[in-house]
């Protein structure tokens, strides 16, 4: 995939895992981190910052590693990929997080639309 696509994927997955962790792991200690990623030998393709519990940080690093290794030039959405590269337990965890955060983002979008309509 292109560097732009890689940067987009990395930013998206970080955002989704962050939403999940913020809501679901309120009681867990968080690690604040900033990270700059290299993709196909190009340094600083994308940088992200996050504040996640240990498990979610592991999940995020795992996702980054899978994205770096993604063989698709035209990368499909990971959840519709014909050759999913996640190991099954990780895949299930990830699917749960994506579903939760996706719904939450969707709801916020609907709420915003609704409020805008109401305001006139």
- Shortest distance, position 4 Cβ to Zn ion, whole Å: 28
25 contributes a contact to Zn ion by CB under 5 A: yes
Nearer to Zn ion, 21 or 67 (CB): 21
Closest CA to 50 of 4, 16, 8, 97: 16
- Shortest distance, position 66 Cβ to Zn ion, whole Å: 18
For Zn ion, which residue of 48, 56, 60, 70 counts as binding (CB under 5 A)?
56
For Zn ion, what does the binding mask look like between residues 77 and 116, x meaning CB under 5 A? ----------------------------------------
53 contributes a contact to Zn ion by CB under 5 A: yes
Nearer to Zn ion, 5 or 35 (CB): 35
CA dist., res. 107 & res. 116, Å (int): 14
Nearer to Zn ion, 6 or 63 (CB): 63
Q: Which residues bind Zn ion (CB under 5 A)?
A: 21, 25, 53, 56
């Amino acid at each position: 995939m292109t560097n732009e696509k890689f940067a987009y994927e990395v930013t998206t997955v970080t955002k989704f895992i962050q939403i999940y962790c913020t809501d679901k792991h309120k009681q867990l200690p968080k690690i604040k981190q900033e990270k700059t990623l290299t993709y196909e030998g190009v340094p600083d393709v994308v940088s992200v910052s996050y504040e996640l519990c240990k498990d979610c940080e592991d999940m995020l690093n795992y996702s980054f590693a899978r994205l770096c290794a993604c063989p698709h030039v035209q990368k499909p959405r990971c959840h519709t990929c014909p050759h999913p590269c996640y190991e099954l337990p990780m895949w299930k965890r990830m699917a749960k997080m994506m579903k939760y955060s996706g719904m939450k983002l969707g709801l916020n979008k609907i709420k915003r639309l609704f409020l805008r309509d109401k305001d006139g």
